[in-house]
């Protein structure tokens, strides 16, 4: 009984806080509109008494109103601007340049009203839309942060988006439970901002699957999730790795992804871990994803990467892999740190494609 009362009390407090926040937002919005109306009137008065003030001084008020006010308040400010603007044009004898400036101001106001109305339909008025996108981008990056590894292990991730966009179609999700580390490097169809929305959704879904079910079932579960979405362009490739940090044993599986690469300290060479692989995710039902197993010894490393790192137009992917491994062999004398970033930066695709690489090594 006491627990139930406590829960009800907490809900009541949260409800009151939400109502208070809503009232505060309404008062803030109304206050902003009032300030802009007053600023517009003062500007009109100034332009009447100071002839050197240009008519273009109306533009900042029109733009700021469109950025920060919802449509109903924006209409009030715009009406004030239109009336005072006509008054100033007539007061200054209505020359052709003044009417032209008035037409430009009217055009900008229409555009800003359309932007405000579009945001209102989405429920992200003012600058909330930009704040939401920034928050989603940061959450995507946080989702792919590598966990802290025990002594004797190191890891590095590099993700570069096409044309320097804030969002990338390549992302990493990780999970560590005790000595078991799981990594899933995913390449969503499309690139840059076009693939950003799907990356945001899939990173959350795949991050929830990773570590919550046996690692052998991860790719099958991810494939089923993508099939249920029924997207027109809903496929993705993925490489999944499970590494036992106590023994160095690993298990790898691929879903239409470039083959992983292993560095062997004994031979000092990189080796492509080729084997059977499953199809890309989101295309066919009831498919299997064969796994490759092995062990990382002291000084060994495991590299997962997306096709943007190796893809070269009009060339076979094998040529791209050979080029990447040649770059890696030249870097190995300086150690593994910084290698993933240099591989992505040296990719032949350059900024025309998303690139991602994750490197895990045992010291």
Contact 86, 78 (CB under 8 A): no
When pLDDT is cut at 50, 70 and 90, the band that residue 133 belongs to is low
Q: Residue 8 has what pLDDT?
A: 47
Mean pLDDT, the chain, whole residue set: 83
Q: Residue 145 has what pLDDT?
A: 80
Enter the DSSP assignment of 281. Answer: B
Q: Residue 126 has what pLDDT?
A: 55
Q: Residue 351 has what pLDDT?
A: 72
CATH 3.60.40.10 in the chain, residue ranges: 136-362
DSSP bridge partners of 254: 239
When pLDDT is cut at 50, 70 and 90, the band that residue 293 belongs to is very high
Helices (H), 92-189: 96-122, 128-143
- Name the CATH superfamily housing domain 136-362: PPM-type phosphatase domain (3.60.40.10)
Q: Residue 361 has what pLDDT?
A: 97
The predicted-structure confidence for 178-200, as pLDDT tens digits, reads as follows 999 999 999 988 766 667 777 87
pLDDT at 235 over 80: yes
When pLDDT is cut at 50, 70 and 90, the band that residue 244 belongs to is very high
When pLDDT is cut at 50, 70 and 90, the band that residue 350 belongs to is low
When pLDDT is cut at 50, 70 and 90, the band that residue 34 belongs to is confident
pLDDT at 19 over 60: no
Instruction: Give the percent of the chain with pLDDT over 90.
Output: 32
Contact 255, 281 (CB under 8 A): yes
- Residues 6+ away with beta carbon under 8 Å from 154: 336, 337, 360, 361, 362, 363
Instruction: Look at the pTM and tell me if it is higher than 0.75.
Output: no
When pLDDT is cut at 50, 70 and 90, the band that residue 25 belongs to is low
When pLDDT is cut at 50, 70 and 90, the band that residue 14 belongs to is very low
Instruction: Give the percent of the chain with pLDDT over 70.
Output: 83
The predicted-structure confidence for 302-347, as pLDDT tens digits, reads as follows 999 998 898 766 667 778 888 888 888 888 888 899 999 988 888 8
Q: Residue 125 has what pLDDT?
A: 59
pLDDT at 46 over 80: yes
pLDDT at 210 over 80: yes
């Amino acid at each position: 009984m006491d627990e139930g009362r406590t829960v009800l009390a907490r809900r009541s407090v949260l409800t009151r806080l939400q109502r208070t926040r809503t009232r505060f937002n309404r008062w803030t919005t109304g206050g902003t509109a009032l300030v802009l109306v007053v600023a517009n009137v003062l500007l009109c008065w100034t332009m009447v008494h100071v002839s050197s003030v240009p008519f273009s001084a109306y533009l900042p008020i029109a733009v700021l109103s469109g950025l920060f006010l919802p449509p109903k308040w924006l209409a009030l400010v715009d009406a004030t601007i239109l009336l005072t603007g006509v008054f100033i044009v007539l007061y200054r004898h209505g020359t052709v340049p003044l009417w032209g400036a008035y037409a430009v101001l009217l055009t900008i106001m229409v555009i800003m009203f359309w932007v405000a109305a579009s945001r209102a339909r989405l429920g992200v008025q003012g600058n909330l839309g930009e704040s939401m996108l920034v928050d989603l981008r940061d959450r995507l990056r946080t989702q792919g942060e590598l966990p802290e590894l025990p002594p004797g292990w190191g890891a590095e991730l590099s993700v570069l988006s096409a044309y320097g966009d804030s969002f990338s179609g390549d992302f990493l999700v990780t999970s560590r439970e005790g000595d078991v580390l799981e990594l899933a490097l995913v390449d969503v169809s499309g690139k840059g901002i076009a693939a950003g929305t799907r990356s945001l959704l899939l990173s959350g879904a795949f991050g929830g699957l990773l570590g919550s079910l046996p690692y052998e079932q991860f790719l099958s579960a991810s494939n089923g999730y993508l099939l249920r979405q029924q997207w027109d362009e809903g496929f993705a490739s993925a490489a999944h790795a499970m590494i036992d940090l106590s023994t160095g044993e690993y298990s790898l599986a691929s879903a239409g992804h470039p083959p992983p690469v292993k560095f062997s300290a004994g031979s000092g060479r990189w080796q492509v871990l080729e084997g059977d692989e499953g199809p890309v995710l989101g295309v066919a039902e009831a498919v299997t994803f064969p796994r490759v197993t092995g062990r990382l010894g002291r000084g060994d490393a495991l590299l997962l990467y997306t096709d943007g790192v190796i893809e070269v137009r009009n060339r076979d992917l094998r040529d791209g892999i050979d080029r990447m491994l040649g770059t890696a062999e030249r870097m190995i004398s300086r150690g593994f740190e910084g290698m993933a970033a240099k591989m992505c930066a040296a990719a032949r695709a350059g900024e025309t494609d998303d690139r991602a690489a994750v490197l895990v090594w045992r010291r």
